[in-house]
Structure 1
Amino acid sequence: MEEHEDGQLGTEESQEGQQEALTRVTGMYKDWFLDYASYVILERAVPAIEDGFKPVQRRIMHALKELDDGRYNKVANVVGHTMQYHPHGDASIADAMVQIGQKDLLIDTQGNWGNILTGDGAAASRYIEARLSKFALDVVFSPKITEWQASYDGRKKEPVNLPVKFPLLLAQGAEGIAVGLSTKILPHNFNELIDASIKHLKGQRFKLYPDFPTAGIIDVTNYSDGMRGGKIRIRARISQLDKNTLVINEIPYGTNTSSLIDSILKANDKGKIKIKKIEDNTAADVEILIHLPGGISPDKTIDALYAFTACESSISPLGCIIEDNKPLFIGVQEMLERSTEHTVELLKAELEIQLGELEEQWHFASLERIFIENRIYRDIEEEETWEGVISAIDKGLKPHTANLKRAVTQEDIVRLTEIRIKRISKFDIDKAQQLIDSLEDKIAQIKNNLANLVDYAIDYFKELKSKYGKERERKSEIRIFDEIEATKVVIRNTKLYVNREEGFIGTSLKRDEYVTDCSDIDDIIVFTKSGHMMITKVDSKTFVEKNIIHVAVFKKKDKRTTYNMIYKDGRGGASYVKRFNVTAVTRDKMYDLTSGKAQSDVLYFSANPNGEAEVVTVILRQAGNIKKLKWELDFADVLIKGRGSKGNIVTKYSVKRIELKEKGLSTLKPRKIWFDDTIQRLNVDGRGELLGEFTSEDRLLMISQKGVVKTAIPDLIMRFDDDMIVLEKWVPNKPLTAIYWEGEKELFYVKRFLIENPDKEEVIITAHPKSYLEKVFTDYRPVAEVVFAKKRGQDRKDNLEINLEEFIGLKGITAMGNQLTKEKVLEINSKQPLPYDEPEKHEAVDIEVVDEENVEADQKKTPEQKSKGKKGSKDDESQTKLF
């Protein structure tokens, strides 16, 4: 191998010519690649902490400042001017400038600059115009404290960093991919950044979370201060326009309406969701209408949109910045603190320069007054040389310069010689003194600001917020997201079939027995005659085991579905009964539900979605001196245990058959349901406010601020409007009372009604656009307090308490109601309702109720020894198989 003088390495074949040619790249790596990597990191991809700009952005801002005359400039002209400083082409400059302009902070734009909502690009740079915004002129530039460097070709001077007196990096965000590292700093809210800077200066704690120009809803639980390893989840804002239409008004950051619609159409094509059509009405604001086919749940579709489309996305931030020509990984809190401290230093530097300039003005104004007031200019009339003139003035000034703040220099004397005769002749001593006094006031003010620099910086930030923060409120709503299980919201787009005898299940067995609709991501639970169970993924054709007795879609963590089983324990063994749940198992593993003996056999099996306990008749074979060949067994007497339990003995004799006698009622307690206001979803995990205990027939009552009243059977996938004011368990015989403002008559009305059609959605206020719902009472005997407005020249009328039960009788839900009062009302308040004794509830059926959780206690008695339990006869949706 030989190394050339230019550092490149050549190749050399071995003497025998049998070894492969090799190229050593060590020198190239050291000399070229590291230089390139450093250049990309420092000069292209990663912003500086000092001003928050990448080099190309900094050069664009510098060019705009040089061209600034208050009028718009063609972007093409700005790009050309920037190329004096930027070593790359016009396309990269134009793209970078459009990105700055779309953030609506530093550049005042004119023309078509594209649309971040739709993804439309900007017009060509020759057609659009730009100038610096007032905000940029105020906070970005200060030439006197700017450090300058030579441009790439040495012809021009450009700023090393711009003196930005604002956390611009966090306001705009930054994204870049370099060599070996990248950065992704998310944008934050303008006003929140200023508030955080003020808190930092006051020594208070603060928290910062992203805020996106596309708005949307964000979950910042795992933001981790914007550092590596953090994550933020973003959702589109989807609401229900009517029962068959959804509307998207805000989209996730990083997407646009075109890509969002494409993702929805793809999910529809794959069968994950089902939609009829999509309309994109986006203009200045986002409006995407999603029309649903009849019978499709809007709530379930909203969840499916989040689960299977770009309506929900996640972003992993990465806080990487350049400091002292080195990449540094820090969080947004530290970025804000460094930026704020840097702003304080810049303000200090500006104040010190202003102080120096004012002191120079004061010095020369005082010197000028001494020169003219004491007629020292006459001392130079006889001087013939320049040195003599300087000397004469210096000699004349000396008796009067004791009060000056610095020594008189030759440059000061030269400036005095440049004063025009006209100025000397019109010199006004009073005006001169006023000028000196005003300069002294300004000097004192600046010295006070320097002495109280932190307070001065706080006032500076407050002024920025007052001047520029009025229309910069937070756009993205911060909310904790609920976890959406894809299997619960996916549309069931295929059909499941079973060949029981041969032991096959799948979606392609169309000639065999149909089981249920399912999706391609569902799990299927299968039970066989030999007492085995397996859970497997949906596929076109899967072999489980011969003689399948039950197959269904498996619901993970399902504590309500209860399996009732009687099996023979091996050949000639005793028979056992057991009840169990299946909440979680390993997929594709075969589980034995018997004790494991050979030739065990399932005699009876049923799957019960609500824990139903039926009554069966056990019939024995005639053998020997058995006296009792037939008796009833009530599954309500059998406790629910784990699937691995052996169960309770039924009989040691041979069973001829088992017959179903009565289908049973649920043995599960009514479900307790809570409402979690944080995520605005129902749950059974104890989070939030307890709404009550619900059976399969109980309903929720929902009333919105718009006056919409509806009831629904609670479902954990239900979504709720933001303006919901009543959410509670519905009691059908309990009247509802509403007070509303009738827009046409301009009076308050009261109505009292029952919900007669629980499946129908009703509006309880009139259709006038000015009508609105004031109060809703869900008590049996509500009381309202009316506070009257004060009339001019009269005392205010005493407050009026009204027993609404006596005030108005029950009417239809569509009735207008009665006038509350003709007087002008200031406010209406709810008071403590009158006492009411609810009628006692008489249960038609009395059955033993057990918890949903597995009960570990074992029962000692056999079913023959137990007394017969009380039975119900309700026909529920349990699936029963007899063998």
Structure 2
Amino acid sequence: MKEQNSHKEETLKKLSGLYKDWFLDYASYVILDRAIPSIYDGFKPVQRRIMHSMRELEDGRYNKVANIVGNTMKYHPHGDASITDAMVQIGQKELLIDTQGNWGNIYTGDSAAAARYIEARLTPFALEVVFNPKTTHWTKSYDGRNNEPIDLPVKFPLLLAQGVEGIGVGLSTKIMPHNFNELIEASIAHLKGKKFELYPDFMTGGMLDVSNYNDGERGGRLRSRAKIIQKDKHTLCITELPYGITTGNLIDKIIKANEKGKIKIKKIEDNTSDEVEINIHLNNDVSPDKMIDALYAFTDCEISISPNACVIVGDKPMFLSVSEILKQNTDFTVSLLKKELEIELGELEEKWHFASLEKIFIENELYQEIKGKDSKEAVYDAIGKALEPFTKNLMRAVATEDIIRLTELPFMRISRYDRDKALENIAALEGKMEQVKYHLDNLIAFAIDYFKNIQKKYGKGKERRTELRIFDTIDATKVAVANEKFYVNRTEGFIGTALKKDEHVFDCSDIDDIITFRKDGIMQITKVEPKTFVGKDILHVGVWKKNDSRTVYNMIYREGKTGPYYMKRFAVTSITRNTEYPLASDKKGSEILYFSANPNGEAEVVSVLLKPSARIRKNKIEIDFSDLAIKGRNSKGNLVTKYAVKKVDLKEEGVSTLAPRKIWFDDTVRRLNAEGRGTLLGYFKGDDKILTINTKGEARLTSFDLMNRFDDEYLILEKWNPEQVVSCIYYDGEKDIYYIKRFLLENHLNSQIFMPSEHPKSFVEFVGTTDGCTAEIIFSKKDKEPEFINIDEFISVKGIKAMGNQFIKEKVKSINMSVPEKEPEKEPEEIIAPTNSNDESPAEGIIGDLFE
């Protein structure tokens, strides 16, 4: 009897080898059959099977999604939930699937209704560009019962139109959706041999900074922002969302940022339905412009996206650029069009061949050869021989299949044969063949016309939704809400937010930097903490901003225990945190006698009282810090006196010694700056303001704070001159008359409306802030000569609420304005403080005459 379960027959296998093979098989399966799309049709396998199943069920009517999912399971060996989710994602992109019912909301993130309640069918676009069984390569489904496409013959850059995300084993893909019309225009440009650029476009709109897009390759970066408008002084409204963010998620982030104290809002309302509307109500003390920046800095109103274009090319994953994908998609479309033309030409040639053969067969009564034949073979042989004299001009040899078709012609067709109609039919086929051959000979032109036709038929309503903008970099420390109360114990040397029994000095945010100055001349900068020891005898503690050159510190100090006294002015623009910097002297016993921090470079006058001494004629010195140059913090400063000082008293508050700030407007990021980017607006100081005037007849005065936003389009954006008259021509839609008015703006920051008419057809024709403007009126009547008007002479200056004077009653074709060039603002003289080449020398003219 044979021994059962013999150990001798067993063989050993290493587990490491099994795992290696199995893992490789699994990784290949996930990458090729689940996660990564094909470059040719832009579909993942589940998406391709859904589209094939829908085409299989297509009859022009809506099908229940549950039925489509069930049919798809013949091809996709997974559960119905994954198929339903994939189908909903395709449907929400509104390109391939015509949906009916509740398919969810891309704005709110609400999910679709159950598959049994919603319906779908293919769009006309999908039917035209996605399917063609004649050019499709097929393979067996997983169970071998059905055929499914390897790739669908998509004649459009669908992958870039829809975008895709997927995570495989060891790699992932993230391709952004792009604009339908821009993709077609880029394909046409490629076919013409021209350069093109492609940038993402999202259904949720928003704004997008593509300066680091890197053509969609790995390492690129996008910044996507919500569109935020200011409804009024206390209300902001989010009207468009960043890519991939829903209103629910965004509101949660805003609420969390508010709870953490990063931002300060009163309440938030979500009124989103077909359009996004999130209203954010602000407290009275919150700046709307600063809050917009804070929303971008601390919430998902701005997100960063890292694209990664990985696709399946053949049987391998490849990392490509968006431009390369577009080129390959376009070339693939051209090859499909060529294949379709070749198939069409072959079909036309077959029709022509049989129509010609039929004509020969009937006209020459070759059907008579059938008589007397007792078998099919004899009939076929007799007809074949009878046809031989007439087949010289045919495109190919006569095959047995042709003869069989001839013998199967109905008797009625033979008896009613019309020679003229047959000739017309053959001529029409020849015309179609010539047309197809022409298209094949001019394939690129044919492909261009194909793309143009697609755009004409389906491009309407697919305009760009996402605005391309270059974003400014928001400094979070400048927009963070001062949510922490900061305290100091000057004697013991502690600072922090937890010292609630000690002196409260200011409110700050938890991401601010704190600067401290001690009596011994040591400066230090630390982060905001509950309790930090910085050293005893604190003179000053404040919030420090990096690169702040306008905050100037004035100080008088003694070098060592008995050394001379020096004075210095300096700014602190950069440091290393938690490092002690000696600003007075390294000598032991150095001490600060007077210190002041001046946020706008103020320079005060102080009285230095000396201790009585026989060598001193006067014991009181007056020092004006405006006579002292602003130098680096390491500067020793100018000598005050070598004699002992009793005390230093403030005599007179100071004024700013800094020159007016030069302010530019950068139209790219729609922000002000002091770095020379964009258009110079002028030299600003104190209460100077910026004037903006928009097309709605609204003038607004704003401060020159660099945090202000100017996202709207303005007719005028300039430095405001309170004495400059504003001239305006506007059309009153209700009265159908043009008016001219001149007025001065009032000095307040509220919106000032100068166009009285609120009629929807009213509009501002011209507004200017330059004297001497003239208008040339071109009338609609051809026989009426143009008229010239000097606006300054036409009407005197009136109030901003005045309607103005009507200046023309006839119908106007156009108004041509002549505006004198405005003289540029003269650069103000800069206040230059005296400097000494030797910091240790006495300040001559200040204290030199006080000594014997």
TM over 0.5: yes
1:291 to 270, 276, 281: 281
Q: Which range moves more in the overlay, 349-358 or 761-770?
A: 761-770
- Looking at structure 2, the residues matched to 781 and 109 of structure 1 have their Cα atoms a distance apart, in angstroms, of 61
2:3 counterpart residue number:
none
- Looking at structure 2, the residues matched to 7 and 800 of structure 1 have their Cα atoms a distance apart, in angstroms, of 107
Residue 651 of structure 1, CA deviation:
1.8
8 Å CA contact 1:781–1:836 kept in 2: the answer is: no
1:52 to 42, 46, 55: 42
Which amino acid letter does the alignment assign opposite residue 842 of structure 2? T
The TM-score, its normalising length taken from structure 2, stands at: 0.96
Residue 863 of structure 1, CA deviation:
2.1
Residue 553 of structure 1, CA deviation:
0.7
What whole-Å deviation, never above 9, does each CA across 1:542-594 have from its counterpart, x for those lacking one? 11011111111111111111111111111211111111111111111111112
Which amino acid letter does the alignment assign opposite residue 291 of structure 2? T
Which amino acid letter does the alignment assign opposite residue 765 of structure 2? E
**1:119 to 2:109 alignment:** yes
8 Å CA contact 1:668–1:849 kept in 2: the answer is: no
**1:865 to 2:845 alignment:** yes
Partner SS state of residue 220, structure 1? strand
- Looking at structure 2, the residues matched to 139 and 3 of structure 1 have their Cα atoms a distance apart, in angstroms, of 62
**1:181 to 2:171 alignment:** yes
Partner SS state of residue 212, structure 2? coil
1:254 to 234, 244, 259: 244
Residue 642 of structure 1, CA deviation:
0.9
Residue 626 of structure 1, CA deviation:
2.7
1:753 to 743, 768, 773: 743
Which amino acid letter does the alignment assign opposite residue 351 of structure 1? L
8 Å CA contact 2:731–2:738 kept in 1: the answer is: yes
Partner SS state of residue 772, structure 2? coil
Which amino acid letter does the alignment assign opposite residue 263 of structure 1? K
1:641 to 631, 636, 644: 631
- CA 1:582–1:142 in structure 2 vs 1: closer, same or farther (change >3 Å)? same
2:584 counterpart residue number:
594
Q: Which range moves more in the overlay, 398-407 or 74-83?
A: 398-407
- Looking at structure 2, the residues matched to 625 and 613 of structure 1 have their Cα atoms a distance apart, in angstroms, of 30
Q: Which range moves more in the overlay, 84-93 or 829-838?
A: 829-838
**1:263 to 2:253 alignment:** yes
**1:321 to 2:301 alignment:** no
Residue 5 of structure 1, CA deviation:
9.2
2:534 counterpart residue number:
544
Which amino acid letter does the alignment assign opposite residue 831 of structure 2? E
8 Å CA contact 2:732–2:759 kept in 1: the answer is: no
Partner SS state of residue 830, structure 1? strand
8 Å CA contact 1:669–1:849 kept in 2: the answer is: no
1:510 counterpart residue number:
500
2:552 counterpart residue number:
562
Partner SS state of residue 475, structure 1? coil
Residue 256 of structure 1, CA deviation:
0.7
8 Å CA contact 1:781–1:835 kept in 2: the answer is: no
8 Å CA contact 2:637–2:840 kept in 1: the answer is: no
1:351 counterpart residue number:
341
**1:199 to 2:182 alignment:** no
8 Å CA contact 1:782–1:834 kept in 2: the answer is: no
**1:785 to 2:776 alignment:** yes
Residue 380 of structure 1, CA deviation:
2.6
Residue 8 of structure 1, CA deviation:
8.9
Partner SS state of residue 26, structure 1? helix
- Looking at structure 2, the residues matched to 709 and 472 of structure 1 have their Cα atoms a distance apart, in angstroms, of 35
2:599 to 596, 609, 620: 609
What whole-Å deviation, never above 9, does each CA across 1:633-652 have from its counterpart, x for those lacking one? 22122111111111122222
- CA 1:4–1:152 in structure 2 vs 1: closer, same or farther (change >3 Å)? farther
Which amino acid letter does the alignment assign opposite residue 619 of structure 1? L
- Looking at structure 2, the residues matched to 346 and 857 of structure 1 have their Cα atoms a distance apart, in angstroms, of 81
- Looking at structure 2, the residues matched to 420 and 402 of structure 1 have their Cα atoms a distance apart, in angstroms, of 26
1:654 counterpart residue number:
644
Unaligned runs of 5+ in 1: 10-23, 869-883
Which amino acid letter does the alignment assign opposite residue 641 of structure 1? K
- CA 1:301–1:266 in structure 2 vs 1: closer, same or farther (change >3 Å)? same
2:365 counterpart residue number:
375
- Looking at structure 1, the residues matched to 740 and 134 of structure 2 have their Cα atoms a distance apart, in angstroms, of 71
Partner SS state of residue 654, structure 2? coil
1:818 to 799, 805, 824: 805
Residue 766 of structure 1, CA deviation:
1.8
What whole-Å deviation, never above 9, does each CA across 1:48-87 have from its counterpart, x for those lacking one? 1111111011110111011001000000000000011110
Residue 540 of structure 1, CA deviation:
1.2
- Looking at structure 1, the residues matched to 68 and 8 of structure 2 have their Cα atoms a distance apart, in angstroms, of 45
- CA 1:458–1:858 in structure 2 vs 1: closer, same or farther (change >3 Å)? farther
Partner SS state of residue 614, structure 1? strand
Partner SS state of residue 664, structure 1? strand
Which amino acid letter does the alignment assign opposite residue 151 of structure 2? N
What whole-Å deviation, never above 9, does each CA across 1:800-835 have from its counterpart, x for those lacking one? 221212211111111111112112122223213499
Q: Which range moves more in the overlay, 675-684 or 263-272?
A: 263-272
- Looking at structure 1, the residues matched to 765 and 693 of structure 2 have their Cα atoms a distance apart, in angstroms, of 12
- CA 1:859–1:543 in structure 2 vs 1: closer, same or farther (change >3 Å)? closer
Residue 787 of structure 1, CA deviation:
2.1
8 Å CA contact 2:88–2:103 kept in 1: the answer is: yes
- Looking at structure 2, the residues matched to 517 and 25 of structure 1 have their Cα atoms a distance apart, in angstroms, of 64
The TM-score, its normalising length taken from structure 1, stands at: 0.92
2:718 counterpart residue number:
728
What whole-Å deviation, never above 9, does each CA across 1:62-116 have from its counterpart, x for those lacking one? 1101100100000000000001111001111111110110010111111110010
1:19 counterpart residue number:
none
Which amino acid letter does the alignment assign opposite residue 141 of structure 1? F
Question: Within 5 A, what are the aligned runs for 1:381-530?
Answer: 381-530=371-520
- CA 1:777–1:762 in structure 2 vs 1: closer, same or farther (change >3 Å)? same
Residue 721 of structure 1, CA deviation:
4.1
Partner SS state of residue 548, structure 2? coil
- Looking at structure 2, the residues matched to 833 and 328 of structure 1 have their Cα atoms a distance apart, in angstroms, of 60
Residue 683 of structure 1, CA deviation:
0.3
What whole-Å deviation, never above 9, does each CA across 1:668-687 have from its counterpart, x for those lacking one? 11000000001100000100
1:800 to 765, 787, 806: 787
Unaligned runs of 5+ in 2: 1-5
- CA 1:767–1:856 in structure 2 vs 1: closer, same or farther (change >3 Å)? farther
8 Å CA contact 2:639–2:839 kept in 1: the answer is: no
- CA 1:861–1:747 in structure 2 vs 1: closer, same or farther (change >3 Å)? farther
8 Å CA contact 1:8–1:28 kept in 2: the answer is: no
**1:772 to 2:752 alignment:** no
**1:684 to 2:685 alignment:** no
1:876 counterpart residue number:
none
- Looking at structure 1, the residues matched to 840 and 590 of structure 2 have their Cα atoms a distance apart, in angstroms, of 23
- Looking at structure 2, the residues matched to 35 and 695 of structure 1 have their Cα atoms a distance apart, in angstroms, of 71
- Looking at structure 1, the residues matched to 515 and 285 of structure 2 have their Cα atoms a distance apart, in angstroms, of 27
Residue 772 of structure 1, CA deviation:
2.2
- Looking at structure 1, the residues matched to 35 and 10 of structure 2 have their Cα atoms a distance apart, in angstroms, of 29
8 Å CA contact 1:704–1:721 kept in 2: the answer is: no
Q: Which range moves more in the overlay, 651-660 or 191-200?
A: 651-660
- CA 1:832–1:656 in structure 2 vs 1: closer, same or farther (change >3 Å)? same
What whole-Å deviation, never above 9, does each CA across 1:319-364 have from its counterpart, x for those lacking one? 1111121111111111111111111111111111111111111111
8 Å CA contact 2:239–2:278 kept in 1: the answer is: yes
What whole-Å deviation, never above 9, does each CA across 1:738-784 have from its counterpart, x for those lacking one? 11122322211122111233233211112423232221110133322
Which amino acid letter does the alignment assign opposite residue 284 of structure 1? D
8 Å CA contact 1:141–1:164 kept in 2: the answer is: yes
- Looking at structure 1, the residues matched to 739 and 553 of structure 2 have their Cα atoms a distance apart, in angstroms, of 55
Residue 659 of structure 1, CA deviation:
2.0
Partner SS state of residue 276, structure 1? strand
1:360 to 343, 350, 360: 350
8 Å CA contact 1:7–1:28 kept in 2: the answer is: no
Residue 495 of structure 1, CA deviation:
1.3
Partner SS state of residue 656, structure 2? coil
Which amino acid letter does the alignment assign opposite residue 775 of structure 2? A
8 Å CA contact 1:8–1:27 kept in 2: the answer is: no
- CA 1:706–1:140 in structure 2 vs 1: closer, same or farther (change >3 Å)? same
- CA 1:190–1:555 in structure 2 vs 1: closer, same or farther (change >3 Å)? same
